[in-house]
A = this chain, B = another copy of it.
Amino acid sequence: MKTFAILTSGGDAPGMNAAIRAAARTGFRNNVRMLGAMHGFRGLVEDDFIELDRRSISNIIQTGGSILRSSRCDEFETVEGRAKALENCRRRGVDGLILIGGDGTMKGALAFETEGSPPSVGLPGTIDNDIEGTEYTIGFDTAVNTALRAIDQIRDTAEAMERMFFIETMGRRSGAIALTAGIAGGGNVVIVPEIKTDIPKVAKTLLDDREAGATSLLVIVSEGDSAGGAYEIAAKVKELTGLDAHVTILGHIQRGGSPTAQDRIIASVLGVTAVEDLLAGRHGHLLGWKCHAVTRIPYAEARTSTSSLPVEILQHADMLIT
């Protein structure tokens, strides 16, 4: 009987539990013993595992967070830490690893494989949607819809009070959440790290929109923009336009919540595939989603996307965001 271990690493993302559930169910069907390593790589280093059974994965598909907890683990970034992890995997008889996380997690997976880890398969678990080779990462759709609901709510009061708002979404290096939620939320301007921000142009657009009759003005700002956070940009725009500016930082609400259908479905399909790959001897790659199909990306290529913004959406953004 084989033994596989699964873990969630880095920032948690809605849909991780759906992936864990799908992988575990597929393992059980194939007579594989399924372990969970707690707190990401820390569980490997510190030998903190739980045994998964039908009961532990029941009623979790609809929940945010991760039943296996998550964390960033400095020790695993050292050779010594990974050696401890390897030792623990061997002692536990782990024949395969399923690693759910972002690009940092895939970097760790690559280093670990090079040093002789059990065969492993990665799943893209990050709300930022910023990994090369996959159109989609687990948690992104939920985060965007959470940001969107917040924008819808802020528009209500912005309309009633005829106000200008700067709304900061998550996404330190990637503008995907800001762009997507900003277009869907009918924002007047979207500011993302991938594109250099021209503050005077932003100010002009907002004044033009106000002149054209816009009651409320909404600027969606990605966390990581080079022009500074939402507060700084708001201050500059206020100075240039003379309009009062309000700021809202959406923050960690974007990480939680019950996952959307898309996050549950794709997480589930990838979770099943991860176990199937390990059983078939395929490993050393991240599983992605492209053109409605599973795709495999070698760990070395699963880098942070330099631009995660969907080209088609960018091309039309100009018409959609004034």
Contact = CB atoms under 8 A, between A and B. Distances in A.
Interface stretch (A73-81, A192-200, A264-272): A264-272
A184 B253 contact: no
Interface in A179-195: 180-181, 183-186
Contacts of A12: 156-157, 160-161
A180 B141 CA distance: 15
Given A184-B261, A312-B294, A152 B62 contact: yes
Contacts of A114: none
Interface string A139-160: 0010011101110111111111
A161 B70 contact: yes
A29 interface: yes
Contacts of A157: 11-12, 64-65, 252, 255-256
Contacts of A293: 311-312
Interface in A277-322: 290-294, 310-313, 316, 319-320, 322
A202 interface: no
Interface stretch (A84-92, A102-110, A243-251): A243-251
Interface of A: 8, 11-12, 14, 16, 18, 21-22, 25-26, 29, 39, 54-55, 58-59, 61-66, 69-71, 135, 141, 144-146, 148-150, 152-162, 165, 180-181, 183-186, 212-215, 246-253, 255-258, 260-262, 264-265, 268-269, 272-273, 290-294, 310-313, 316, 319-320, 322
Given A25-B322, A71-B161, 9 more contacts: A22-B316, A22-B320, A55-B213, A61-B184, A69-B160, A153-B253, A157-B256, A184-B264, A268-B316
Given A145-B260, A161-B70, A310-B292, A64 B156 contact: yes
B262 A262 contact: yes
Contact of A319 (B22, B59, B62, B152): B22
19 contacts: A11-B157, A55-B213, A58-B213, A61-B184, A64-B160, A69-B215, A141-B261, A144-B261, A145-B261, A148-B260, A153-B257, A156-B256, A158-B252, A183-B264, A184-B268, A249-B249, A265-B313, A269-B312, A292-B311
Nearest to A310: B292
Contacts of A292: 135, 291, 310-312
B25 A61 contact: no
A312 B265 CA distance: 11
